């Protein structure tokens, strides 16, 4: 997504923390990394390799995307994946699943700790095109930076970046290039 690269770089440059910025696209009932920007080494290595499909129920990017799906789509996804969703400490029923995602939707961002990779914190916000969720942008930090990340206002910065990308996509949908 050509329009996202400068926004992602700006987001990465806004921090002195070790971070990576990842752009994930919704692909069927998974998310796929389209692009990644990484800070100066050493930076946290993301499990989201470009072109690799990742689970739809773990990680900040996935949850930011899921939270902005309509109820009908969300219910279908839940019913088709109920056992997978209920694994571990995940929601144990439809009501809990929907409530958790609607909380993320209300907040405008998702924060997860060690859901995709041990020792990593993800903060993600949805990217919308014509009011429909198509992707998510996330910052990935080392888990030791959790308190500093929250206090530094990174959730709001990630939301602002997602909004800039969303606006650009809505104004010129031709700017999308996958890969």
pLDDT at 177: 45
The string over 123-138, giving b where at least 16 C-beta atoms fall within 10 Å of a residue's C-beta and e elsewhere, is: bbbbbbbeeebbbbbb
pLDDT at 37: 84
| pTM, full prediction | 0.85
Burial class (CB in 10 A: 0-12, 13-18, 19+), 80: exposed
Burial class (CB in 10 A: 0-12, 13-18, 19+), 29: middle
* 61 closest CA partner among 22, 96, 8: 22
In terms of pLDDT, which residue wins out, 108 or 179? Answer: 108
């Amino acid at each position: 997504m050509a329009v996202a690269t400068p926004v992602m770089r700006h987001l990465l440059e806004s921090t002195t923390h070790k971070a990576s910025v990842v752009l994930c696209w919704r692909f069927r009932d998974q998310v796929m990394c389209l692009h990644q920007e990484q800070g100066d080494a050493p930076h946290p290595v993301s499990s989201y390799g470009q072109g690799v499909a990742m689970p739809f129920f773990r990680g900040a990017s996935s949850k930011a995307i899921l939270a902005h799906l309509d109820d009908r789509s969300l219910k279908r996804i839940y019913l088709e994946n109920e056992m997978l969703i209920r694994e571990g400490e995940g929601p144990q029923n439809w009501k809990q699943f929907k409530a958790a995602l609607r909380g993320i939707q209300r907040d405008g961002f998702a924060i997860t700790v060690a859901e995709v990779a041990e020792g990593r914190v993800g903060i993600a916000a949805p990217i919308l095109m014509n009011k429909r969720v198509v992707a998510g942008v996330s910052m990935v930090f080392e888990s030791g930076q959790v308190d500093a990340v929250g206090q530094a206002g990174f959730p709001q910065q990630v939301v602002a970046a997602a909004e800039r990308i969303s606006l650009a996509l809505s104004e010129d949908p031709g700017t999308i290039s996958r890969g």
